[in-house]
Homo-oligomer: A and B are copies of this chain.
Amino acid sequence: MPAEPADERRSGPLLQHLARRMRLRSESVLTPLGLRVRHLVALTVLRDSGDISQQGLAGTLQIDGTNVVGLLNDLESAGLVERRRSPTDRRRHVVSLTGAGATRIREAECALADAEDEVLGALAPDERELLYDLLRRASQGCAPTCTEAATESPDAC
């Protein structure tokens, strides 16, 4: 047998696992704030990527455009985001975070402290910060639409 038993460890399954645990923990905490997890995900994306069209948001969140409508209806009726018509293309809506939205995100993040403590309890504070930084950069890296990368597939496995 070969010495190395194929060191092909992928983050995918671990990401799924931790995300599930985090989601279950977060839901009960977020409910009193009138938010679902997906709302907070959308708000966070919006905060990190700035103004964006609904189509762009659908691409980033990887959800169907028709479902973006309902998601934004929730957030807009709560005053957390704003839909303005794009001046350059009046078909488009430019979605942006409001001041209230930014505040609500901070409140939610604060409320999530316990959930994060439970799920990431094994990590030291500086490690959690490192994790956050990696996740944020990975998230922004494929922000606009990764879908365009579907063509290239240099599978050298």
- Interface residues of A, Cβ cutoff 8 Å to B: 5-6, 8-24, 26, 37-38, 40-41, 43-45, 61-62, 106, 109-116, 118-123, 127-128, 130-132, 134-142, 146, 149, 153, 155, 157
Q: Are A131's CB and B132's CB within 8 A?
A: no
CB-defined A-B contacts under 8 Å, sample of 29: A6-B106, A6-B110, A9-B136, A10-B113, A10-B116, A10-B132, A11-B128, A11-B131, A13-B40, A13-B45, A14-B136, A14-B138, A15-B135, A16-B37, A20-B62, A21-B62, A21-B142, A111-B157, A113-B157, A114-B155, A118-B142, A119-B138, A120-B138, A121-B138, A121-B149, A122-B137, A122-B141, A131-B135, A131-B138
The minimal Cβ–Cβ distance linking A50 to chain B, given in whole angstroms, is: 16
- Contact among B10, B111, B122 with A109 in the assembled complex (CB-CB below 8 Å): B10
Q: Report how far A131 CA is from B157 CA in the complex, Å.
A: 21
**Which 4 A-B pairs give the minimum distances between C-beta atoms?**
A122-B141, A19-B19, A14-B135, A8-B109
Tell me whether chain A's interface is mostly helix, strand or loop, or mixed: helix
Most B-side CB within 10 Å, residue of A12, A14, A23, A61: A12
Q: Are A18's CB and B15's CB within 8 A?
A: yes
The minimal Cβ–Cβ distance linking A118 to chain B, given in whole angstroms, is: 5
Known: A24-B62, A106-B8, A130-B130. A155 touches B16 (CB 8 A): no
Chain B residues lying within 8 Å of A149, measured Cβ to Cβ, are 118, 121
The minimal Cβ–Cβ distance linking A104 to chain B, given in whole angstroms, is: 12
